[in-house]
Chains A and B, each alone.
Chain A
Amino acid sequence: MRKGLQFNLFKYVGWRHLKLHPGRAALTTLGVALGIALYVAIAIINESTKNALRESIEAVAGKASLTISAGVAGFSEDKLEIIRNTPGIKSAVPMIEARAFFEGAKESADGLYILGVDLLQETSVRTYQATDQRIIDDPLTFLNQPDSIIFTETLAKKRGLKIDSKVKLSTTLGLKTFTIRGLLKPEGTAKAYGGSLAIMDIDGARMMFGKENKLDRVDVIPLEGVTNQTLKESLQKSLGANFSIESPATQSEQMEKLLAAYQLILTFFSTLALLVGLFLVMNSITVAIAERKKEIGTLRALGATRFSMVSLFVTEIFGIGLVGSTLGCLIGRGLAEKLVKQVTASVASQFQTRIEVTHLDFSYHQIITAITFGTLASVIAAFFPALKAAAIHPLESMKKHAESSSAEDENRSKLMIIFGFLLLVFTTFSMTLGWGKYWSGIDLFTKIASVLGSALFGPYLVFILIHAARSLGKNTKRPMIKLSLENLIRSRKRTTSNVMALMVGLFLVMMIATVRASFHDTLTNWFNEIFIADVMVASTGRMIVADVQPIREEIQKEILEIPGVKPIGADRGSASRIVPYYYHGKKMAIKAYDHYADFYQYQNFAIQNGDRKKIAPLLYTGEPNVILTQSFLTKQHKNIGESVELDTPSGTIAFKIVGSITDFASAEGVIYISRENYKKYWKDPLVTAFIINIEPGHSLEEVRAEIDRRIGKKWNVITISNAEFKEQMQQAIERSFAYTRAIEAIALLVGLLGLLNTLLISVMERTREIGMLRAVGATKKQISNMILLESLMQGVFGSIVAIILGSYVGKLFVEYALTTTLGWIIDFHFPKESVLQTLLTGIIVAMIAGILPARRAANLEITESLDYE
């Protein structure tokens, strides 16, 4: 072929075709754009979340090379001198970390981080920029008054506060009024947690947040020439093994690792959405090429080579891919903006870590990668159909009936079904046997196999359903139903394309719904079963994730004096303490309860290795005993009867494992311990919540009102009834999965576009057939109804198959892949409510997609139609 001919071929054939069918080109472009958009949105959110975490950690660490900490309970302030006297230390500054809530806090956004720092020592590690000339106008007053607080300008603006404003915050001493005595510019440390923080002097913070004589962390700077490693070893030697000594970079890495599993799920969904988008591109191209068979034949007969034909289609799709991917980046950026709050709220719920994404990170590198990836993937998706089209002999191409059901096609179709089936078999084995853990490539291939397998095998199931419907409806007196069913069977290829287009979108919807339902039902069932106490008394905040300000244990005495509160016996309390805990770098939780009866009087804890009334008392023998979740035992390769060494502020203690329990508070593991032992080893007398039962003869509301009246304001505690607590749980789960709704919507939109595209093409393809029907007497309405009916049947059958396959792959994902990734044993729950929803959505999408082609078909002129082809 002469030089320049290729360009002319694109200019006069490819470009002309795109101009003649702008709607279809737009649909395909939008399909690519939506697939890429979701992928880009998730990538942006993942990156921005990681960066926000890293920035917060680095902002709080300041110039420190190492940070010394010992868990939530902190450590004795005497250690500061030991640290300062350790050889190689240039500066060591202490810090108290606390979480506080504004008065009337209802959600996480009503909370803020409190950093209690030694303002007389800080400058060597952290710098603060005041909005005024000085951070604190009057340091003598600031340091001596426990109500002194410095807000970030960001937070102050958000809450309409300024210097000298009074603000009420929850503390362990109850609701306390603070005076804002300084404002910080959003620079350095003030940028941490998206500016949702306040600085207090260390002594004030200790007093207000129940950390007298304690420190939460010490940030150190080594002397010049002393390496971090050398200093870490010296410090570890001076302090002992139960102190975590890490650089900010390592802390960031640890946090990123924690998030990795969660982000993997997000990426999984977004990859699936992208695959769905690309599949639709492939489907559209296949159908488009089939439609242009005659044009291909003509060009081939005129001397166009196979290469030039492939190049023509690839160039066309290259343009569509490029435009679609660029559009996808723009939509993705907008989508990320909408989704980021939901995702970070979900992450915060699960990891008890506040993440404030203040800006989205979408670098040029990411944009170029996304566009290149989208364009290339579109080209690859188009390449094989193009290759197939170019391989057709010109004579064959020019035959009038483009859709021939040749034996070759039949065989190919059968092969595709078998291939699809095999891919689903592979998906089943890969997920159940966890092949993905051996190599990430297998993991990616499994995802592709699940979509592709369902897409290839799904239509076979649809045909079974259509055949069944034909058998059932053979005596129907409605000829249009018969005709539509016959059309669907006769035009196997076309039906397959349409069903595939709709099905992959619904498949993804169903899969996500299955995951959500399984999580939701497993957690809800667990929670409904275990929590049986009447009322919980805690400070304001989100009790469900223990994201609350701890309170003082003395409150118990006052609670028990309230009429209607069931007595609990002189030898015991009913306090619980729930704190995050790091074990070998994994974030877990410690749950400490006052008495073994808490395990069955207030909660029905699901102890797995025997009667809870026999196992729970083992925690209260005075010996260091623990009950661990199954996830802890499995992941840390421990067994009941063995010991587990836990780092505590009192040193490393070997706790004997006396039982196993089901708990979803942390995927890595939960440690149950007596509060007596917790207080002894962790030296933390604070309480997360008190659990109480109501004495018969008293009403819940009466007791709650009395608690509110007597101690509510005094200690800033609220009462949460059993029903409210469960409702909070429900909401927390809903929040965790809120973002999946957006993914479902995108998947559906992609499905709608795909079906609309293929239906439009199929109407064009059937122009002559429709003309003939009109010629033999079919009315416009009948033609329109026939197309709509066909679309409806494809919608119904496609949805049914999507429900079956989506829930099947979802089941595999829940029971195997997710269990491996998260460590939780999640029971499969069929998303019953989603079945009707998916079915209806499928029908509506099919009907919407069918309206335009139906109108178009009905409006075709008979003579023109008969001349078509």
Chain B
Amino acid sequence: MNKIVLTLIFFSLPTFAMSAKEIMVKNEEARKVSVYEARAVLTTGNAGESPKVKDFTIWRKVQPDGIHNSTLTRFHAPAEVRDEGILIIENASGKNDVLLYLPNFKKIRRVESQQQSGSFMGSVFSYSDIATPHVDDYQYKTLGTEPCMGDPKLTCTKIENTPANEEVKNRIGYSKSIIWVRPDNFMVERADYYQTDGKLWKKLKATEIKIIDQKNKKWLAHSLSITNQITNDFTELHFSNVDVTKDISDALFTQQNLQKVK
């Protein structure tokens, strides 16, 4: 999710003169917020079914290495999931620690790495979508330009991302993705994700791309919509009350805090 969320940030130089990798470096800079807190609503469903809505708060902070993030989500509604928490600690090894807190059992459970390419808690997003992608994890190829979906006056660069190695491929579960990067903020506004057998799997649309940190030129897509092209399952994610000014302690991203329910 937030790979995509934070990919959608940046606005700056014209992209046509830049290589695909240079554009993606800019993309990472635009979406990488050192710290933020936001409220979010996650809606999942399938055509013909009544959608399920979950309300949660998300906290994200860049780790001291300046590259990897720590993310904590705490669910508020519906009642069945209230106080559940998910802590994602990205690691340099690429194998993220994903911990889930279940308040009814007062227990923390670990999500095994093999499962991280799978669905994130029943949504169309995967765990690896939730964690942020890093420039070095992919190889890039410019496929051309197309009018941007969000603003047809702008020309988006179409880039193909392929995992840099097998380990990344296994972790993310995609064989490749094609993204459309806006020239004004370097944020991704569309993305197509392909299965390991080459079939189109998911389609993402990012809208409401807003600047959240004027000083550091950081952007966030406040509305994300992703559809599974095979099952027609969909997930929508809306952010609100994004706050980048809060002083968030590192202690928030610990197991002890994960099981602390206010």
Known A118-B109, A124-B114, A133-B233: A139·B104 in contact at CB below 8 Å: no
Residues on the B chain within 8 Å of A121, using CB: 110-112, 115
User: In the complex the two chains form, what is the Cα distance from A828 to B230 in whole Å?
Assistant: 69
In chain B, positions 223-262 with a C-beta closer than 8 Å to chain A are 230-231, 233
Q: Name the interface size band of chain B.
A: 20 to 34
List 4 additional contacts besides A139-B121, A143-B109; criterion CB under 8 Å: A91-B112, A124-B112, A137-B122, A145-B80
B residues near A (Cβ < 8 Å) are: 44, 52, 54, 75, 78, 80-81, 84, 100, 102-105, 107, 109-112, 114-115, 118-119, 121-122, 230-231, 233
Most buried by B among A120, A136, A203: A120
Q: CB within 8 A of A140: which of B75, B115, B230, B233?
A: B75
Question: With a CB–CB cut-off of 8 A, which chain B residues contact A124?
Answer: 112, 114
A-B contact pairs, 18 of them (CB 8 A): A91-B112, A118-B109, A121-B110, A124-B114, A133-B230, A133-B233, A134-B119, A137-B122, A139-B122, A140-B75, A141-B78, A144-B84, A144-B102, A146-B104, A146-B105, A203-B102, A204-B105, A207-B105
- In this complex, what residue of A is CB-closest to B112? A121
Candidates A91, A120, A133, A141; contact of B109 at CB < 8 Å = A120
Asked if A138 is at the interface of the complex by the 8 Å CB criterion, the answer is yes
Flag if A120 contacts B121 (CB, 8 Å): no
| Chain B interface, >50% SS class | mixed
Q: Does A123 contact B (CB under 8 A)?
A: yes
Which residues from A are CB-within-8-Å of B54?
Answer: 140
A134 neighbours in B (Cβ, 8 Å): 119, 122
- Assembly CA distance A144 to B121 (angstroms): 12
Q: Is the CB of A133 within 8 A of B112?
A: no
A123 touches B102 (CB 8 A): no
Set of chain A residues within 8 Å of B110, measured between Cβ atoms: 120-121
> Min CB distance, B72 to chain A, in Å?
15
* Residue in contact with A133 in the complex, picked from B44, B111, B231, CB distance below 8 Å: B231
Name the residue in B44, B81, B107, B114 with the highest tally of chain A Cβ atoms < 10 Å from its Cβ. Answer: B81
* 8 Å CB contact of B104 from A91, A123, A144: A144
A121 → chain B, closest Cβ, in Å?
A: 5
Bound form: Cα–Cα A120–B122 in Å:
12
A residues near B105, Cβ cutoff 8 Å: 144, 146, 203-204, 207
Bound CA span A520–B128, Å: 64
Report B-chain residues with C-beta under 8 Å of the C-beta of A146.
104-105
Given contacts A123-B112, A136-B122, A137-B122, contact A143 B100 (CB under 8 A): yes
Q: Provide the A174-207 mask, 1 if CB < 8 A to any CB of B, else 0.
A: 0000000000000000000000000000011001
A123 to B112, CA, bound (A): 9
Which residues of A sit under 8 angstroms from B107, Cβ to Cβ? 203
In the assembled complex, the CB of A210 is this many whole angstroms from the nearest CB of chain B, namely: 15
Contact A144 B80 (CB under 8 A): yes
* Complex partner residue of B80 from A118, A141, A204, CB under 8 angstroms: A141
Tell me the smallest distance from the CB of B109 to a CB of chain A, in Å.
5
Taking each of B81, B105, B112, B122, which has the highest tally of chain A beta carbons within 10 Å of its own beta carbon? Answer: B105
* Smallest CB separation, B165 vs chain A (Å): 18
B158 → chain A, closest Cβ, in Å? Answer: 29
The 7 closest A-B pairs by CB, nearest first: A203-B105, A141-B80, A140-B81, A133-B231, A120-B111, A121-B112, A138-B122
For B52, the closest partner residue in chain A by CB is: A138
Q: Which residues of A contact B121 (CB under 8 A)?
A: 138-140
A120 and B100 in contact, given A134-B119, A140-B84 (Cβ under 8 angstroms): yes
Contacts of A136 in B (CB 8 A): 122
* Nearest CB in chain B to that of A136: its residue: B122
Report the Cα distance A750→B24, complex, angstroms: 86
B52 proximity list for chain A (CB < 8 A)? 137-138
Closest to B119 in A: A134
A-chain residues with CB within 8 Å of residue B230 when the two chains form the complex: 133
User: Do A145 and B112 touch (CB < 8 A)?
Assistant: no
Instruction: Give Cα distance in the complex from A729 to B233, angstroms.
Output: 54
Q: Considering the complex, which residues of chain A in the window 55-73 have a beta carbon less than 8 Å from any beta carbon of chain B?
A: none
Contact of A144 among B81, B118, B119 (CB under 8 A): B81
Most buried by A among B78, B104, B119: B104
Report how far A749 CA is from B121 CA in the complex, Å.
63
Task: State which residues 717-739 of A face B: CB under 8 Å.
Answer: none
The complex places the Cα of A133 from the Cα of B114 at a distance, in Å, of 19
Q: Which residue of A lies closest to B109 (CB)?
A: A120
As a 0/1 sequence over residues 136 to 161 of chain A, the CB contacts with chain B under 8 angstroms (1 = contact) are: 11111101111000000000000000
A124 to B107 alpha-carbon distance, docked (Å): 22
Q: Give bound CA distance, A137 to B54, whole Å.
A: 14
Report the Cα distance A538→B109, complex, angstroms: 34
Could you tell me the distance between the alpha carbons of A123 and B119 in the complex, rounded to whole angstroms? Answer: 13
Which of A138, A203, A204 has its CB near the most chain B CB atoms (within 10 A)? Answer: A138
| Nearest CB of chain B from residue A801's CB, rounded to whole Å | 71
Q: Is the CB of A140 within 8 A of B122?
A: yes
A146 (CB) vs chain B CBs: closest residue:
B104
Closest to A91 in B: B112
- Distance in angstroms from A209 CB to nearest chain B CB is 14
Known: A138-B122, A144-B84. A123 touches B109 (CB 8 A): no
B99 — nearest CB in chain A belongs to which residue?
Answer: A120
Contact partner of B112 among A120, A137, A139, A141, CB < 8 A?
Answer: A120
Chain A residues whose C-beta falls within 8 Å of the C-beta of B100 in the assembled complex: 120, 143
In the bound complex, CA of A117 to CA of B27 (Å)? 41
Q: Name B54's closest neighbour in chain A (CB-CB).
A: A140
Q: Answer whether A145 and B104 are a contact pair too, CB < 8 Å, given A121-B112, A140-B81.
A: yes
CA distance A136 to B233 in the complex (A): 13
State in angstroms the CA–CA spacing of A144 and B100 once bound together. 10
On chain A, the residues within 8 Å of B104 by CB distance are 144-146
Chain A residue nearest to B111 in the complex (CB): A120
What's the least CB distance linking B108 to chain A, in Å? 11
B34 to chain A, nearest CB (A): 28
User: What residue in chain A is nearest B81 (Cβ atoms)?
Assistant: A140
**In the complex, A146 Cα to B80 Cα: how many Å?**
11
CA distance A146 to B78 in the complex (A): 16
Q: How far is the CB of B15 from chain A (nearest CB, A)?
A: 37
Flag if A123 contacts B115 (CB, 8 Å).
yes
* Nearest-CB residue, chain B, relative to A206: B105
CA distance A565 to B109 in the complex (A): 45
- Residue-wise, chain A 111-138 has the 8 Å CB interface mask toward B (1 for contact) of 0000000101101100000000110111
Chain B residues contacting A203 (CB-CB under 8 Å) are: 102, 105, 107, 109
Q: Which of A133, A139, A140, A146 has the most CB of B within 10 A?
A: A140
Task: Determine the residue in chain B with the shortest Cβ distance to A124.
Answer: B114
